[in-house]
Structure 1
């Protein structure tokens, strides 16, 4: 590719007006997401290679999803007090060490299901602080009018390397040797650290008098702001409830794919890849869709799609039927996620980004933790389709209950809302 063509391509993907720091941030995000995508397939396959008990498989998901529920609020308060880039660098360094230790344990044949479960919990804990801080860096680097395109570029990387490229690579590396995908992820974490260290940050948007406030008061302010903002409140409530149903079904997805659909390790990696292709189509069509469909109606359509996804997967045993379903679900997940994060970033004042993001994070992973526990028990006692039937029924009921409240999303693109007085 000639240099002029390369420059034009870079300008289209990463517009110059978004700034050099944004480009470093995107580079770090994409590299890190490639490593996470490799682990997305390799992690469940490692667990499944050590145990065939549905409850332990679901417990592995629960232990990854529990740390945001336990530490998310504290991470949000810390994010609004301390240098956000420094938090990312520190916890990602710890994450690299944990993954390297896991790879070594596998290589020397000292691995056990107990050790893997502990490692998953520690990795989930580091990601709480890294993800919460990372989400607040973007609004500090680009203008609010560019947040939609900036988030779309980050999501494009997430879809292409985390969901599309990473899982089949992870599955293939795992088939070659169980330690290889984790060794590769270690190197990618180190590369992401180098890139994020190049980001030049503006001054931290701290609250006046933040040093005199207690952490508990900081956390309370985040909850109070969410309670007073109808659109963000509706988003948090919706994602919490729908992640209960999603978590129930997806906590046993590796068993569903390998046993009910008859897919092997590579086939399981392709499940995520097919979903990522759907997400990539959602990426390309996102601007066109949002110009023609209101945010409220877009959310309603997404919830219907997710509800019908659970029903269809509960009914089918054919991978040829399941794969198109995963494709459509991937498009829905991208559209929902991009809209949700853009609404929050535009509506929330800079000094509250960490705490409000942590309230949303608790909603996200609180639902996943509850759902994964339900899913593991249902699968253990009633079969692999039971979590999907539960997910369909629960989603259908909630869609009816939340339908009218989604109108608040249509008015979410306002200027940042000030914090109500206590």
Structure 2
């Protein structure tokens, strides 16, 4: 039987995905709330220590740099370990790390260097956990529910990091500077407990005798030969570059341009949850109605519109609406491309191919965060958002051209043909039916 998850009219209906998935979802939701607390409190702490936008943007650079540095090694590790046990250990390590930061702030030695180090190590853990969770989903959720399962997890993550967490984090920061980081440590302890109660997992896989480097390169070679996934990864790099630049300077924009307090900044960030929750409900239906190609075009247009609003309308209400549009677009994009990866990549290569994909896609995050800080320092925050809107407009045009050629549909049809022939998932080659936009090899997920 093909393991390709095809959108159906029933995709949006409520599905029961099992007790283990419920625990995985709960762990993701709780830790996401903690992440949101730190996402709001980290820049606020940096802004309290310095007024230089470049140093404030350095918080985002420190958190996202591991996505580039450790993506491929993390993928190899994921393909070799018991994922559930590994996730439990990483959550415990993150709890200890945040406890150290909390003590440092209380003790008076929690300055920018310690904040940068902690954000960097949290980024290392995030590289592993995000990849590992996506690899684990097909093992704890039924094949027919992959779109729904991924949408629910992403909605929980966006609602936690975009609504409950930032709102709570800004409020806690106004009470005591160290309090948000201590609360985040507690959420990781709760997440570890939930994951430890799961029964199903992806067990440790035996290695082979080819050595570490050839094993890491196997995932990279497979992904790079697959025109569709390669193109989506490259486009995602550009999307993340624009989005990361926007988020890196948002705290400066909220203070200087919008005149918001720390709590107001948290409320503004929380507007992302509206779009994220909406996307979780409509993403499967939108994909069914417009197809995968049409859904990706729509998400690029939403993100471009959100950046344009931030660049041109200096209103807190408009900024909140723009962030809701941004979250709706990114969650819908992620639902489409994550399901494609989970169904097109051979399972024994999923961790490595996922990590290479993320290495390419997330490579834009630290670059965008750094660029956003420098552009904001020289030309102001609206210039950062305007540049992001221009980048997203170009991406939307590229996706329209790909949609006209049905590049995703043809790749999926080729995949089904391979599976029907008994070859299993295989990359598309130069002579395959995958007619993705090869004339745009440097553009393509988040």
TM-score (norm 1): 0.90
The 3 A distance-change label for structure 1 pair 215 and 328 is: same
Match of 2:425 among 394, 417, 422: 417
Structure 1, unaligned runs of 5 or more: 1-11
Matched, 1:390 2:387: yes
* Maintained 8 Å contact 1:58/1:372: yes
- 2:110 aligned residue: 111
1:211-222 correspondence to structure 2 within 5 Å: 211-222=208-219
How many Å separate the matches in 1 of 2:131 and 2:388?
A: 27
Deviation at residue 401 of structure 1 after TM alignment: 4.0
Q: Select between 196-205 and 364-373 the one with higher mean Cα deviation.
A: 196-205
Matched, 1:376 2:373: yes
- 1:30 aligned residue: 29
How many Å separate the matches in 2 of 1:97 and 1:59?
A: 23
Matched, 1:89 2:88: yes
* Maintained 8 Å contact 2:167/2:270: yes
- 1:328 aligned residue: 325
The 3 A distance-change label for structure 1 pair 273 and 402 is: same
Match of 1:385, SS state, is helix
How many Å separate the matches in 2 of 1:339 and 1:299?
A: 8
How many Å separate the matches in 1 of 2:195 and 2:172?
A: 27
Match of 1:318 among 315, 318, 321: 315
* Maintained 8 Å contact 1:79/1:355: yes
Deviation at residue 196 of structure 1 after TM alignment: 0.6
How many Å separate the matches in 1 of 2:247 and 2:304?
A: 13
How many Å separate the matches in 1 of 2:369 and 2:166?
A: 21
Deviation at residue 285 of structure 1 after TM alignment: 2.1
Match of 1:294, SS state, is helix
Match of 2:359 among 355, 362, 378: 362
How many Å separate the matches in 2 of 1:397 and 1:291?
A: 25
Please list the CA deviations of residues 292-343 of structure 1 after superposition, one character each: whole Å capped at 9, or x if unmatched.
1111011112112222322221112111222222222221122111112111
How many Å separate the matches in 2 of 1:283 and 1:331?
A: 8
- 2:338 aligned residue: 341
Deviation at residue 420 of structure 1 after TM alignment: 8.0
Q: Select between 116-125 and 87-96 the one with higher mean Cα deviation.
A: 87-96
Match of 2:199, SS state, is coil
Deviation at residue 82 of structure 1 after TM alignment: 1.8
1:133-172 correspondence to structure 2 within 5 Å: 133-172=132-171
How many Å separate the matches in 2 of 1:143 and 1:280?
A: 22
* Maintained 8 Å contact 2:297/2:399: no
* Maintained 8 Å contact 2:226/2:428: no
Match of 1:211, SS state, is coil
How many Å separate the matches in 1 of 2:306 and 2:18?
A: 39
How many Å separate the matches in 2 of 1:239 and 1:178?
A: 35
Please list the CA deviations of residues 83-107 of structure 1 after superposition, one character each: whole Å capped at 9, or x if unmatched.
2222212222211111000111112
Deviation at residue 360 of structure 1 after TM alignment: 1.9
- 1:5 aligned residue: none
Deviation at residue 203 of structure 1 after TM alignment: 5.5
Pairwise CA RMSD of aligned residues? 2.1
The alignment covers a number of residue pairs equal to: 406
TM-score (norm 2): 0.86
How many Å separate the matches in 2 of 1:185 and 1:204?
A: 28
Deviation at residue 419 of structure 1 after TM alignment: 5.8
* Maintained 8 Å contact 1:140/1:350: no
Deviation at residue 411 of structure 1 after TM alignment: 4.3
How many Å separate the matches in 2 of 1:134 and 1:42?
A: 25
How many Å separate the matches in 1 of 2:248 and 2:132?
A: 26
Matched, 1:282 2:279: yes
* Maintained 8 Å contact 2:78/2:352: yes
Moved beyond 4 Å, runs of 4+: 411-416
Structure 2, unaligned runs of 5 or more: 1-12, 417-423, 430-446
Please list the CA deviations of residues 10-50 of structure 1 after superposition, one character each: whole Å capped at 9, or x if unmatched.
xx9671xx332222212211111121121121111111111
The 3 A distance-change label for structure 1 pair 44 and 14 is: farther
How many Å separate the matches in 1 of 2:149 and 2:264?
A: 33
- 1:259 aligned residue: 256
